[in-house]
Amino acid sequence: MNGRLPPWLLAVLLVLLYALHNDIWLWSDARIVAGLPIGMVYHIVYCFAATGMMALLVKHAWPSHVDDDEESD
């Protein structure tokens, strides 16, 4: 496996992250964490997870021909 994650695994992780975006289980939760509503804290953590997912996609799914230095005319 040349150091790349399989495309199916990246797709599964992406769908899972997409499914976790809407936190319907926290809509009616009024708890406060670190001075913020729990839903806001969830979305802060979600943003970090989305950033990590994008880093994985760039590292493992970025097409190699995009980084070629040669110009094709």
Banded model confidence at residue 49, pLDDT cuts 50, 70, 90: very high
Q: List residues bridging with 36 in a β-sheet.
A: 33
How confident is the model at residue 35, as a pLDDT?
96
How confident is the model at residue 65, as a pLDDT?
77
Report which secondary-structure segment, H or E, holds 32: strand 32-33
CA gap 31, 49 in Å, rounded: 22
Is there a domain that residue 41 lies in?
Answer: yes
Is there a domain that residue 44 lies in?
Answer: yes
Range of the domain at 45: 23-60
Phi and psi angles of residue 63, each rounded to the nearest 5 degrees, phi first: -65, 135
- 3-state percent helix, strand, coil for the chain, nearest multiple of 5: 60, 5, 35
CA gap 61, 4 in Å, rounded: 8
User: What integer is the mean pLDDT of 46-62?
Assistant: 93
Is there a domain that residue 67 lies in?
Answer: no
pTM given for the model: 0.77
62: how many CB neighbours lie within 10 A of its CB?
11
Is there a domain that residue 49 lies in?
Answer: yes
Banded model confidence at residue 61, pLDDT cuts 50, 70, 90: confident
* Number of structural domains the chain divides into: 1
